[in-house]
Structure 1
């Protein structure tokens, strides 16, 4: 049986994102890299990532410290509003997000990516 594929939602300007990719490479993992700022995930993809994370709360993948978060007035916003904002403003998506099979982690710190390599 083959190993499940590994996907990383990556921002090359983020040291945590680069660190997660380096850790995976050290272990011989060649993930599919999705530059989510260039190709923004759809709302449906965001909901699927939340499911894999085991959460229904989009704030677990939201960069609440971003100026855009404040500009959009998202503090206290409902789930649907936050999901729509994430789909329209991918800069608000936390990085990196690592997906393996039916599971995912926000790899902060980058070592969290390794959790998904364990059965």
Structure 2
């Protein structure tokens, strides 16, 4: 089943959800700020995205700038930071089987539907 990691307060995330609602596909909404991902879940998603952990970080978030920016961080450090502070995770993320995409731009979601 298709999944969307969704933040209802984010305009891009709402647009991604609307795109999914307009399809005939069943999907599950995961509010990852309410139910944070585990390290293993996040690693799996990063693998499906085919990107580095740093590429999934929202680098303009205050917590990133104050606690992590400019430091020599390993991939594990970055993943741990995203698990500890889910706001750092870029959104929305749509997962379909073994593939995933960040819905920025929203139309990118169509690639995996």
TM-score interval for Structure 1 and Structure 2 normalised by the shorter chain: over 0.9
Change (3 A) 1:66 1:16: same
* Runs of 4+ residues deviating >4 angstroms: none
Report Cα offsets for 1:32-66 as digits up to 9, x if no partner. 000000011011111100110123x1012110110
Supply the RMSD in Å over aligned alpha carbons.
1.1
Matched residues in 2 for 1:11 and 1:30: separation?
19
5+ residue gaps, structure 1: none
TM-score (norm: length of structure 2)? 0.93
Matched residues in 2 for 1:21 and 1:12: separation?
9
5+ residue gaps, structure 2: none
Residue aligning to 1:34:
30
Aligned residues: 112
2:55 equivalent among 38, 60, 70: 60
